[in-house]
């Protein structure tokens, strides 16, 4: 009797062991997969431990696998199903599911794919030397991405630059025009931060305006101002 039980137990463990061996995985191992627009992305879904049984395998994505015309599925062999995204676009981002069936058992794994806009500044110039007094000057933070899909945030020495007065924006804020340039007021560093909202990418550029002497004068002036404000605050609050 004990022998029969032992035998049944043995069969049971073998059955459990073989079932536990079946795994479904997606390569690359890093999740999520992140690539800039236009790159080719490949995922491989693999079923291991199925033995002689041929798994049924399929790739899926919410709303349809290939809405952009960039996705191709390739059966590499009985246990490996590839998915290739050629010339990827932001719309190809999302969760890709690999489903497999071995006998009556179903398996699933998933992978996040993030395709982001690579933000490259069109104008590479980071220093505009001497600008004539009373002239107008443009600082460009135009980028490779579509204009309507980015937000540009301008600062000067840490303070936001808004439209109005001598500051005018063009091309949805991508170009800052400084009118009636006064070296002793307007020289210095201008920083733009460009946000590509739908993909979550951003990039920053700082452009320096004016000669070294002018920049130093403005910086010194600002330091004096904040020093005087400090002293003033201390003086009045201590009274
Ligand atoms: C890649 O996609 C972009 C826009 O979706 C298109 O303009 C470009 O021609 C495509 N490039 C190739 C090599 O298919
Ligand atoms: C700045 O750029 C805008 C838009 O391209 C243009 O209309 C304007 O004349 C430029 N200003 C200067 C000073 O170049």
Q: Domains plus CATH for the chain?
A: 23-116 (2.60.40.10), 127-237 (2.60.40.10)
Measured distance CA(224)–CA(190) in Å, rounded: 20
Tell me what pLDDT residue 26 has: 97
Quote the percentage of the chain above a pLDDT of 70.
Answer: 88
pLDDT-derived band at 13, boundaries 50, 70, 90: low
Q: Which of 210, 170, 172 is nearest to 190 (CA)?
A: 210
pLDDT-derived band at 220, boundaries 50, 70, 90: confident
CB-based contacts of 61, cutoff 8 Å, min separation 6: 94, 95, 96, 97
**Which of 138, 141, 152, 171 for mutating ligand 2's site (highest number of atoms within 8 Å of CB)?**
138
Backbone dihedral region for residue 67 (phi beyond 0: left; psi -120 to 50: alpha; all else: beta): alpha
Quote the percentage of the chain above a pLDDT of 90.
Answer: 58
Looking at ligand 1, which residue's alpha carbon is closest to its atom 9?
87
In order of 39, 65, 66, 181, 201, the CA distances from 36 in angstroms are 6, 20, 19, 39, 10
Looking at ligand 1, which residue's alpha carbon is closest to its atom 4?
89
pLDDT-derived band at 15, boundaries 50, 70, 90: low
- CA atoms within 13 A of residue 228's CA, in its CB half-sphere: 6
Q: Are strands 201-209 and 127-128 parallel, antiparallel or unpaired?
A: parallel
Q: 82-113: per-residue pLDDT in tens? A: 999 999 998 999 999 999 999 999 999 999 99
Tell me what pLDDT residue 225 has: 76
Taking the centre of ligand 1 as the mean of its atom positions, its distance from the CA of residue 175, in whole angstroms, is: 27
pLDDT-derived band at 63, boundaries 50, 70, 90: confident
Is the pTM higher than 0.85? The answer reads: no
Tell me what pLDDT residue 217 has: 73
pLDDT, greater one: 76 or 15: 76
Query: Closest ligand to 69 CA?
Result: 1
pLDDT-derived band at 184, boundaries 50, 70, 90: confident
- CA atoms within 13 A of residue 239's CA, in its CB half-sphere: 5
pLDDT-derived band at 233, boundaries 50, 70, 90: confident
Tell me what pLDDT residue 211 has: 79
pLDDT-derived band at 33, boundaries 50, 70, 90: very high
Sign for the pseudo-dihedral over CA of 29, 30, 33, 34: negative
Q: Is the pLDDT of residue 141 over 80?
A: yes
pLDDT, greater one: 153 or 196: 153
């Amino acid at each position: 009797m004990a022998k029969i039980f032992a035998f049944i137990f043995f069969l049971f463990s073998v059955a459990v062991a073989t079932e536990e061996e079946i795994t479904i995985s997606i390569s690359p191992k890093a999740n999520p997969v992140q690539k800039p627009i236009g790159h080719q992305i490949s995922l491989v879904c693999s079923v291991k431990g199925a033995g002689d049984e041929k798994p049924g395998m399929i790739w899926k994505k919410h709303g349809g696998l290939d809405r952009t015309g960039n996705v191709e599925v390739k059966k590499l062999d009985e246990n490996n199903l590839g998915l290739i995204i050629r010339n990827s676009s932001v719309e190809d981002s999302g969760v890709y599911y690999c489903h497999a069936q071995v006998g009556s058992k179903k398996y699933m794994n998933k992978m996040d794919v993030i395709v982001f806009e690579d933000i490259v500044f069109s104008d590479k110039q980071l220093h505009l030397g001497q600008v004539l007094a009373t002239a107008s000057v443009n600082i460009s933070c135009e980028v490779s991405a579509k204009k309507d899909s980015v937000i540009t945030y301008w600062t000067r020495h840490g303070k936001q630059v808004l439209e109005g007065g001598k500051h005018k924006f063009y091309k949805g804020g991508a170009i800052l025009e400084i009118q009636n340039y006064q070296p002793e007021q307007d020289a210095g560093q201008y920083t733009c931060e460009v946000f590509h909202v739908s993909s979550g990418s951003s990039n920053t550029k700082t452009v320096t305006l004016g000669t070294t002497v002018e920049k130093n004068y403005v910086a010194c002036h600002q330091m004096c101002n904040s020093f005087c404000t400090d002293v003033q605050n201390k003086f009045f609050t201590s009274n």
